[in-house]
Structure 1
Amino acid sequence: MIRPGLTFKLSILLACIGVLASGATGYYAYRANRTMLVSEAERSLLTSTELLGQRVSVAIDDVGADAQVLASMPSSADIAQSDDGIGPNAPREQLAQVYASFMVHHPEYLQIRLITRQHYGLELIRFDRDADGLVRVEGNSLQEKGQFAYVFDTLAFSPGRIYTSPISVNHEYGTHAAEGKPTLRLGTPVADASGAVVGVVIIDVDVDDLLKRVQSDLPSDYQVYLANEWGDFLVHPDASKTFGFDKGRRVLMQDSFSATKPLFDQSKSEVLLNGLVRPRQAAGQVLAFVRRPFGASAGNRFIVLGLGKPLDHVLAGANQLGIRIIRMVLIFSVLALFLAILFARALTKPLHILAYAATHLFAGHAMETLPLKRTDEIGVLARCFDRLRREIKSQMDVLHNKQRELVHLATHDGLTGLPNRMLFMQKLEAAIGEATRRGEALAVLFVDLDRFKQINDQFGHSIGDKVLAAVARRLKEVLCTADVAARLGGDEFIVLIEGPRSAEAAPGIASRIMGALNEELLIDGQSMTVGASIGISQYPDDSATAEELLLNADAAMYAAKSGGRCAYLRYRDVLERRKQEQASEGATEGREAEPTA
C-alpha cells in the first residue's frame, strides 16, 4: 500500500487551514457585525434617550420660566394682596388676559392659576382647558386650594424658586379637560415689593402632550419608557402598566428590568441592555435608560427615561450579511484547496533538499524551542532574535525605571516626599468632581509653620530641611489614609479631607495637627518647637473651584495667624468676623453723625 507523501499531506493540511480560516473569518465577521450593530444601536439609543431627557428638562424649565414671568408681574402681587376674586376688578381682568395669552400659545397647559395666600388659598385668576378651548373660572366657582401640597409647599419657597410636583393623575373636582389626565404641576411664589410671599402661580401641564412634543421626531419603531423616582411606570408601550399606583396595582421599572435598579439607587446614571447579552431582561430588544434630574429646583427628584428598539430591526442587516458570508466562504474554500496544492508542490521541493542536507549535517541532533545551535540562516536569525530580545528587555526595564522616577519627581516634593502643588491641585479637582457627583462635601486645610523662619535663621538651612521632613512625617501620622497632605513650598503645607465626615472632622483634624506640631522636635541633638497656624475652607459652602478653595484657606490661615499664632480658623468664621466688623464700623459712624443736644 502506497503511503501518502509529504506533498499530499501538506496539500490536505493547507487546504484544511484555508477552509477553517475562511470559515472562522466569516463566522467572526458575522458575529462581529451583529455585536457592532447592537453596540451602535445602543449608542444611538443612549444618545436619543439623553437628548429626549434633555428636551424634557428644557420643556419643564420653560414652564417654570413662564410661571416666574407671571409671578414677577407687579399686578400679580397687588391682586394677590388686595383682591378676593369677587366682583369686577380692572387690574385683575388685564392680568387675566395675560394668563389667557399663555394658555393660547401653550396647548400643553391644562390650567394656569393665581392663588392668594389669603382666604385659605383662594383662586383669584383661573383658566382651564376643555374640548372647546379655554374656560375662565370666575366668581363663586373659584376654589380654595390652601390644603393642597402644591400650594402650601410653594408658599414656603423663597421668591424665584420653582416647585415641581410628582407626575400624577389629576383627580381634582371641576378641572374640565385636565381631570383624569397625567399632570405635572409647576409653581412659583408671588412676592410683594418687600419680598414677602403673598401668593403663588400654578401651571398644570399635560404630560402626554408634553412627551408627544419632545419625542415627535423619534423613529417610529422606538418604544418609550418613563418612570418616576420610585420606579412607577408613567409611560410604557403597554398602557395598562402605566400609573399603576393610581389603580391600586404598582408596576415598577426595576421589577420589569432589574438592571435598572442602580438608576434608582443613584449609583449609575445610564444603563444599556440588549437581547444578545441579556435575553431574559431584554428579550428581543435593545434598550437604553438614563436618569435625569426632574425640574430646575426639584432637589433629589428625578425621572428615568428609556428607549427601546426591536432586536430584529437592528440585526436585519446582519442576517443579509450572513448569507453573503456563507457564499464567500464556499468560494474561498475551493480557492484555498487549489492554492494549497500549488503551494505544497512549490514548498516540498526545497524541503527535500534541506532535509537531505540536514540529515547529514545534524545527525542525532534534536532542536528544542529556539534553534540557537544551528549554523545556517535560521540559526543566525534565531541567535540574532535572542540577543535582540534580551537587549530590548534590558532597555525597556531601564526606561520604565527612569519613567517612574521622572513621574515621581514631577509630582512630588523632593525634600519631604509629599505631593507637590501640581499633583495636589489635580487630586483636589478630581475630589471636587467626585463630591459633586455624590452630593458630598470636602475640606481644605492650609497649614503654615509659625516659627520655621527663626529655626532656619538660627540653626541653618540643613536643619530647616530636616524640620520640614519631620513635619511631613507628623502630618502623615495625624491624618487618615484617605486624607491627602502636600507641600506647596517653603513652610506651607496643604491637607485635603474628603467624604461626609469632612465638615465635622476638619476642626478636629486641625487641632490634632497643631498638637502634633507643637510637640518638641529633636533634630541633630537640637530641641525645637515649630507650631502652626491653619486656615480651613470647605466645599461647597466656601467655593466650588479648586483655586478659590485654596485661596480661601490661605486667607483663613492669615486671619488665624494675625489673631495669634498656633490657631486655626475657618473661612466662614473669617467672613462672619468681617461682617461684624463692618456692622460695628457702621454703628460707630452712625453715632458720630448724631447731632449733640
Structure 2
Amino acid sequence: MIRPGLTVKLSVLLACIGVLASGATGYYAYRANRTMLVNEAGHSLLTSTELLGQRFSSSIDDVGADAQVLASLPSAAEVAQTDDGLGKNAAREQLAQVYSSFMIHHPEYLQIRLIARQHYGLELIRFDRDGDGLARVQGNSLQEKGQFAYVFETLAFSPGRIYTSPISVNHEYGAHGAEGKPTLRLGTPVANAGGEVVGVVVIDVDLAGLLKRLQSDLPSDYQVYLTNEWGDFLVHPDASKTFGFDRGRRVLIQDSFSVTKPLFEQSQSEILVNGLVKPKQAAGQVLAFVRRPFGDSAGNRFIVLGLAKPLEDVLSGANLLGDRIVRMVLVFSVLALALAVLFARALTKPLHLLAHAATHLFAEHAMETLPLKRTDEIGVLARCFDRLRREIKSQMDVLHAKQRELVHLATHDGLTGLPNRMLFIQKLESAIDEATRRQEGLAVLFVDLDRFKQINDQFGHSIGDKVLAVVARRLKQVLCTADVVARLGGDEFIVLIEGPRSVEAAQAIASRIMDTLNETLVMDGQSMNVGASIGISQFPDDSGTAEELLLNADAAMYAAKSGGRCAYLRYHDLLETRRREQHAQQEEAQARAGKDATAGREAEPMA
C-alpha cells in the first residue's frame, strides 16, 4: 500500500489556509495604520534631533566666544609676552580675577588657562575645578604644555580663529576634578598690538555636564546617542559602551547601526530608520541620526547625534485596532487551527527528526532516530542525509588529521621534534606577560654547540643529524617539565626558565647542560665530544622584550665562546666586564695625558 506523499499533505494544508482569507482586509488596514504612525513618529524624532544638534553646536560656539573674550583682553597679550608665572604681577592677578569669574558662572567649565608661546608653552594663569570649588594653580606648579596639540596647533592659528580638540577623556597630570572626565577643549590665539600670536587661551568643557543640561527637557522615553567624528560613542543608553577608546576597546556606532555609515562618509547629513521597515537595523525602535559640525569649520569637527523611541510606544494606537481585527477573524482561526494541528503532527515529526540530526551531525544516537524505512519523500531525504553525513564525517576526519599535522610542522623542528623559533617566541612573550603580572623573573639560555661543525665535516651530515637529536634529548632530560627548550636552527638551542627559581637556577642549569653535553657520544661506533657555550639573559634585569632577551643571550654566548669554549656567561656579567674595561681605558688615557703635560712643562726651561 502506497502512503500519501508530502505533496498531498501540503495540498490539504494549503486548502485550509483559504479559511483565513477573510482576515486579509483587516490585516491590510492594520499594517497601513502602523506605517502611518511610524512615519509620523520618525519625522517628529528627526526634528527633535536636529534641534538638539543645533543647541549643542550653539553651546560650543558660546564657549568659543568666551575664549575669544578672554583672549582679547588688553592685558592678556602683555602677560603672555612678559610674565614667567613667578613672583607678583598686577596684570596677571587682574586677569586671574576675570578667569575665576568665568569659572564661577559656567559650571560646565573644568579648566581655563592662559598659556604663553615662550617658556615651552608655560601656563601663566590656570584655574581648575576641584570638587564643588575652584583651585588656582600657581608658581612652580604651573606646567609646560607646548607639546600638546591644543597648544601648538592653536599657536599656528591667526587671531580670532577657534581651535576645537577631539572629544577625549582627560588624563593630564594634576588635572584636579577634570581628571578622568570626558573633555572638549577650545582654544584661541592671544595676539599683541602688532598682530603677533604670543599665547593661547584654552577652556576645557565638561562634556557630560553640558549634555546633561541639553537633554533635560527631552521626553523620558527618548534614548540619546552621541558620537565623535570617528563614531565612538560618547552618549549611549548603556553607559558601559561610552568612551570605549579610553578603555582599549572601541565601540563604534557604525557597528551598532550600520545605516549611519553615510553620515561619516559625508554623503548624507541625516538618517531616519525604523524597526517596522528594517527590523535588523533598528530592532524595536524608531531612530533618527544627524551629522552636526561644531567649532571652527576648518577643523572638520562634527558629531553624530541620534534619538530613539521604542516602537512599542509608537504603535500603541495601532495595537488597539489590531485587537479588534483579531476578534473579527477569531472564529475562522479556530477552524484553521484545528486543521493545522491534525496535519502538523503528521508533517513536523519527521522534519523535527531531520532538524535534530542536522544539529547533531556526527552523533550516532541522532542518526538512529531518522525515518530511514519510510517509502515517501521524507524517507528518501533521510537516507540521502545519512549517506551525506557519513561522507562528511569521513572527509572531516581526514581534514582534521592533516590540520594537526600541518600545525605541528609549522611550530616544531622536523629533526629534533623541539619547538622552533616561531613557537618559542610565542611562549617567551606569554611568559614575559605572566612574569610581569606576577612580578617574577625568567631566564633565557642561548646554547651553541662548540664542536658540531667539526663533527659534521668529519663524520657527515647524517651523523650530525643524529648528534642534534641526541643533544635535544639530553637537554630535555636536564630540564624540568615546566622549562621550555627549542631549536633555533643549525647547532643553536634556546632554553626558557620561568618562575621564582629562574634567577638562582639559571647558572646551575647552564652548568648541568654543559656537563651533559661534555659527555662522550658514541654514534655508529664513533666516539665524539660536542661541548657547548651558553649565554644567559634575565627578565627584567637585562631586557623587557622577547627579541632583546634573545639578542642579549646571543651576545653573552659569543663572549663566552670567545673567552674559551665550554663556558657560560651571564649578560649582566658581560656588561660589567665591558664597563670595567672602558673605565681602565679611560684611566690609562688620563695617565698618558698627565705624563705628556708634565713632560711639556719640563721642556720649557730647557728651551
Q: TM-score, normalised by structure 2?
A: 0.50
Q: Decide whether the 8 Å contact of 1:111 with 1:127 is kept in 2.
A: yes
**CA–CA distance in structure 1, aligned partners of residues 164 and 299 of structure 2:** 10
> Once the 2 structures are TM-superposed, how far is the Cα of residue 327 of structure 1 from its aligned partner?
6.0
**CA–CA distance in structure 2, aligned partners of residues 311 and 244 of structure 1:** 28
Name the structure 2 match of 1:229.
229
**CA–CA distance in structure 2, aligned partners of residues 201 and 22 of structure 1:** 73
Name the structure 2 match of 1:251.
251
Q: Which amino acid aligns with 1:301?
A: R
> Once the 2 structures are TM-superposed, how far is the Cα of residue 321 of structure 1 from its aligned partner?
2.5
Q: Which amino acid aligns with 1:128?
A: D
**After superposition, what is the alpha-carbon deviation per residue over 1:384-419, rounded to whole angstroms, capped at 9, x for unaligned?**
xxxxxxxxxxxxxxxxxxxxxxxxxxxxxxxxxxxx
- 1:361-510 equivalences under 5 Å are none
Name the structure 2 match of 1:43.
43
Q: Decide whether the 8 Å contact of 1:163 with 1:298 is kept in 2.
A: no
- 1:132-531 equivalences under 5 Å are 132-325=132-325
**CA–CA distance in structure 1, aligned partners of residues 69 and 318 of structure 2:** 53
Q: Which amino acid aligns with 1:289?
A: F
Q: Which amino acid aligns with 2:97?
A: Q
**CA–CA distance in structure 1, aligned partners of residues 292 and 60 of structure 2:** 12
**CA–CA distance in structure 1, aligned partners of residues 34 and 42 of structure 2:** 12
**After superposition, what is the alpha-carbon deviation per residue over 1:333-391, rounded to whole angstroms, capped at 9, x for unaligned?**
xxxxxxxxxxxxxxxxxxxxxxxxxxxxxxxxxxxxxxxxxxxxxxxxxxxxxxxxxxx
Q: Which amino acid aligns with 1:60?
A: I
Q: Decide whether the 8 Å contact of 2:61 with 2:294 is kept in 1.
A: no
Q: Which amino acid aligns with 2:156?
A: A
- 1:22-101 equivalences under 5 Å are 25-101=25-101
Q: Decide whether the 8 Å contact of 1:64 with 1:187 is kept in 2.
A: yes
> Once the 2 structures are TM-superposed, how far is the Cα of residue 119 of structure 1 from its aligned partner?
0.7
Q: Decide whether the 8 Å contact of 1:86 with 1:139 is kept in 2.
A: yes
**CA–CA distance in structure 1, aligned partners of residues 132 and 277 of structure 2:** 51
Unaligned runs of 5+ in 1: 1-18, 332-597
Unaligned runs of 5+ in 2: 1-18, 332-607
> Once the 2 structures are TM-superposed, how far is the Cα of residue 203 of structure 1 from its aligned partner?
0.2
**CA–CA distance in structure 2, aligned partners of residues 324 and 94 of structure 1:** 74
- Residues 242/298 of structure 1: CA separation in 2 closer, same or farther (3 Å cut): farther
Name the structure 2 match of 1:130.
130
**After superposition, what is the alpha-carbon deviation per residue over 1:259-286, rounded to whole angstroms, capped at 9, x for unaligned?**
1111111111111121111111211111
**CA–CA distance in structure 2, aligned partners of residues 71 and 123 of structure 1:** 14
Q: Which amino acid aligns with 1:35?
A: T
> Once the 2 structures are TM-superposed, how far is the Cα of residue 27 of structure 1 from its aligned partner?
2.7
> Once the 2 structures are TM-superposed, how far is the Cα of residue 28 of structure 1 from its aligned partner?
2.9
1:303 counterpart SS class: strand
**CA–CA distance in structure 2, aligned partners of residues 295 and 88 of structure 1:** 36
Output the aligned Cα RMSD. Answer: 2.0
1:81 counterpart SS class: helix
Alignment coverage as a number of residue pairs:
313
Q: Decide whether the 8 Å contact of 1:115 with 1:199 is kept in 2.
A: yes
* Greater displacement, 71-80 / 289-298: 289-298
1:111 counterpart SS class: strand
1:171 counterpart SS class: coil
**After superposition, what is the alpha-carbon deviation per residue over 1:22-79, rounded to whole angstroms, capped at 9, x for unaligned?**
9555333321221111111111111111111111100000000000000011111111
- Residues 54/22 of structure 1: CA separation in 2 closer, same or farther (3 Å cut): farther
2:185 counterpart SS class: strand
Q: Which amino acid aligns with 1:100?
A: S
Instruction: State the identity as a percent.
Output: 84
2:299 counterpart SS class: coil
**CA–CA distance in structure 2, aligned partners of residues 20 and 146 of structure 1:** 76
Q: Which amino acid aligns with 2:113?
A: R
1:84 counterpart SS class: coil
1:64 counterpart SS class: helix
**CA–CA distance in structure 1, aligned partners of residues 299 and 182 of structure 2:** 22
> Once the 2 structures are TM-superposed, how far is the Cα of residue 322 of structure 1 from its aligned partner?
2.0
Name the structure 2 match of 1:567.
none
**CA–CA distance in structure 1, aligned partners of residues 137 and 168 of structure 2:** 23
Name the structure 2 match of 1:399.
none
> Once the 2 structures are TM-superposed, how far is the Cα of residue 201 of structure 1 from its aligned partner?
0.3
Q: Decide whether the 8 Å contact of 1:285 with 1:309 is kept in 2.
A: yes
1:145 counterpart SS class: coil
Name the structure 2 match of 1:106.
106
- Residues 321/44 of structure 1: CA separation in 2 closer, same or farther (3 Å cut): same
Q: Which amino acid aligns with 1:251?
A: V
* Greater displacement, 38-47 / 108-117: 38-47
Name the structure 2 match of 1:426.
none
**CA–CA distance in structure 2, aligned partners of residues 301 and 139 of structure 1:** 35
**CA–CA distance in structure 1, aligned partners of residues 164 and 145 of structure 2:** 17
Which segments of structure 1 move beyond 4 Å, counting only runs of 4 or more?
19-25, 325-331
Q: Which amino acid aligns with 2:300?
A: N
> Once the 2 structures are TM-superposed, how far is the Cα of residue 243 of structure 1 from its aligned partner?
1.4
Name the structure 1 match of 2:505.
none
**After superposition, what is the alpha-carbon deviation per residue over 1:123-172, rounded to whole angstroms, capped at 9, x for unaligned?**
11110001131111111111110110000000000000000000000000
Q: Decide whether the 8 Å contact of 1:114 with 1:125 is kept in 2.
A: yes
2:84 counterpart SS class: coil
**CA–CA distance in structure 2, aligned partners of residues 327 and 61 of structure 1:** 57
Name the structure 2 match of 1:121.
121
Q: Decide whether the 8 Å contact of 1:161 with 1:297 is kept in 2.
A: no
> Once the 2 structures are TM-superposed, how far is the Cα of residue 325 of structure 1 from its aligned partner?
4.7
Q: Which amino acid aligns with 2:310?
A: P
1:307 counterpart SS class: strand
> Once the 2 structures are TM-superposed, how far is the Cα of residue 204 of structure 1 from its aligned partner?
0.1
Q: Which amino acid aligns with 1:191?
A: A
Q: Which amino acid aligns with 2:194?
A: S
1:60 counterpart SS class: helix
1:94 counterpart SS class: helix
Q: Decide whether the 8 Å contact of 1:162 with 1:297 is kept in 2.
A: no
1:129 counterpart SS class: strand
Q: Decide whether the 8 Å contact of 1:112 with 1:127 is kept in 2.
A: yes
**CA–CA distance in structure 2, aligned partners of residues 140 and 330 of structure 1:** 83
> Once the 2 structures are TM-superposed, how far is the Cα of residue 328 of structure 1 from its aligned partner?
7.7
Q: Which amino acid aligns with 2:147?
A: Q
> Once the 2 structures are TM-superposed, how far is the Cα of residue 294 of structure 1 from its aligned partner?
2.6
Q: Decide whether the 8 Å contact of 1:163 with 1:297 is kept in 2.
A: no
Q: Which amino acid aligns with 1:149?
A: A
Q: TM-score, normalised by structure 1?
A: 0.51
